[in-house]
């Protein structure tokens, strides 16, 4: 199994105090968000490959250096695939990105438009997308909502990424959290573009919304574009896997349509890395 969405960071070093306080809103109770390698690897035991990243977003108080992520990955290199983070509103962001890829050997990019406060269609992003497309680096975008009060929700709408995919048709993109709560908007974007995917991380704890997202994915025939992720440390692997496998529990004997076993196991067993990294030849 592959997990395309996990984090590493040290909250005390990489978040502002206001962001640490606000993060209690994420699950509705206080969370210790600092990621420790041993606990992380124990949680990831079920996965063969795990994509891990931090976040850079000055606007909302996140700044995880790429070197920190590279050091984390270097402690379990057979399992972990590190992504760089990039905040295009900041000077030097391109130089930092080139360094993250070429020197620290990170293999993709995490962008958080709502957190950093930029429109993903902004011309400032073109150099990032071009570099990623030319070098076979997938880009994972946070899409949908968040708890940070300073984040700009308008930049999390999944339809914004339609134009990016039209401009960069060979760029591998993941729209995180299936754009929640705008999941149907996300599904119609991934349906249009062969190399645009969505991950289902952090959705199981809103079971009604998750159920409807997966039913809509079946109806639009895009379940093959859904990738599994856990959003650790916000959610654990076992709870995420169980939440997906139990997605039909809420409908009981109501006669409502069911998410098929093929959809559920397809998400869990998908060879996400083969889809995200262009194959030679």
Piece of the chain touching Zn ion by CB under 5 A; list 153-161, 223-231, 238-246, 251-259: 223-231
C-alpha pair distances (Å), 153 with each of 77, 87, 88: 35, 16, 17
Contact track, Zn ion, 124-163, x by CB under 5 A: ----------------------------------------
What is the nearest approach in angstroms of Zn ion to the Cβ of residue 240? 12
> C-beta of 142: minimal distance to Zn ion in Å?
6
Match 């060979």 to its residue by tokens: 170
- Minimum distance of Zn ion from residue 115's CB (angstroms): 10
Contact 211, 247 (CB under 8 A): yes
Phi, psi of 104, deg, nearest 5: -90, -5
Helix, strand and coil content of the chain, in percent to the nearest 5, comes to 45, 15, 40
Rounded to whole angstroms, the Cα distance separating 115 from 209 reads 23
- Taking the chain, what is the end-to-end CA distance rounded to the nearest angstrom? 25
Nearer to Zn ion, 64 or 214 (CB): 64
Please answer whether residues 141 and 109 qualify as being in contact, where contact means their C-beta atoms are separated by less than 8 angstroms.
no
Please pick, from the candidates 56, 231, 244, 259, the single residue that binds Zn ion as defined by CB under 5 A. Answer: 231
Residue given tokens 């998400």 in the structure block: 267
Complex with Zn ion: residue 162 or 231, whichever CB lies closer: 231
| Token pair 């308008």: residue | 154
Minimal distance, residue 253 CB to Zn ion, in Å: 35
Of 116-124, 151-159, 231-239, 247-255: span binding Zn ion (CB under 5 A): 231-239
CB-nearer residue toward Zn ion: 9 or 168: 9
d(CA 243, CA 87): 32
Query: Cα separation of 117 and 151, whole Å?
Result: 7
Which of 66, 231 has the CB closer to Zn ion? 231
Which H or E run contains 85?
strand 84-86
Q: How far is the CB of 113 from Zn ion (least distance, A)?
A: 13
Piece in contact with Zn ion (CB under 5 A), picked from 73-81, 109-117, 122-130, 225-233: 225-233
Least separation in angstroms between CB 257 and Zn ion = 29
Binding residues with Zn ion: total (CB under 5 A): 1
Beta carbon of residue 38, minimum distance to Zn ion (angstroms, whole number) = 21
Count, residues in the chain: 281
Q: Which is nearer to Zn ion, 84 or 215 (CB)?
A: 84
Distance CA 61, CA 27 (A): 19
Decide if 143 contacts 106 (C-beta within 8 A): no
| Residue closest to Zn ion, measured at CB | 231
CB of 7 to Zn ion, least distance (A): 6
Residues 77-96 that bind Zn ion (CB under 5 A): none
Half-sphere exposure of 47 (CA within 13 A, CB side): 33
43 in contact with Zn ion (CB under 5 A): no
Among positions 179-198, residues that touch Zn ion (CB under 5 A) are: none
Which span sits near Zn ion by CB under 5 A: 113-121, 159-167, 224-232, 268-276?
224-232
For Zn ion, the binding residues (CB under 5 A) are: 231
């Amino acid at each position: 199994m592959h997990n395309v969405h996990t984090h590493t960071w040290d909250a005390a070093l990489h978040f502002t105090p206001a962001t640490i306080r606000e993060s209690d809103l994420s699950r509705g109770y206080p969370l210790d968000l600092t990621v420790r390698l041993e606990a992380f690897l124990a949680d990831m035991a079920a996965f063969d490959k795990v994509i891990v990243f931090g976040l850079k977003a000055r606007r909302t108080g996140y700044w995880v250096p790429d070197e920190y992520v590279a050091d984390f990955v270097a402690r379990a290199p057979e399992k972990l695939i590190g992504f760089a983070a990039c905040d295009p509103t900041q000077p030097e962001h391109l130089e930092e990105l080139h360094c993250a890829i070429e020197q620290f050997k990170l293999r993709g990019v995490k962008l958080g438009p709502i957190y950093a406060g930029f429109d993903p269609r902004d011309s400032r992003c073109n150099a990032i997308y071009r570099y990623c497309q030319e070098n076979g680096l997938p880009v994972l975008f946070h899409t949908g909502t968040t708890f940070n009060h300073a984040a700009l929700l308008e930049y999390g709408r999944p339809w914004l990424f339609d134009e990016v995919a039209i401009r960069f048709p060979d760029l591998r993109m993941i729209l995180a959290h299936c754009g929640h709560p705008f999941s149907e908007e996300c599904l119609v974007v991934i349906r249009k573009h062969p190399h645009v995917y969505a991950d289902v991380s952090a959705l199981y704890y809103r079971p009604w919304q998750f159920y409807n997202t997966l039913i809509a994915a079946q109806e639009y025939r895009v379940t093959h574009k859904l990738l599994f992720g856990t959003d650790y440390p916000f959610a654990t692997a076992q709870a995420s896997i169980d939440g997906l496998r139990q997605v039909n529990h809420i409908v009981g004997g109501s006669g409502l349509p069911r998410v098929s076993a093929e959809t559920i196991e397809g998400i869990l067993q998908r060879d996400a890395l083969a889809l995200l990294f262009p194959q030679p030849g």
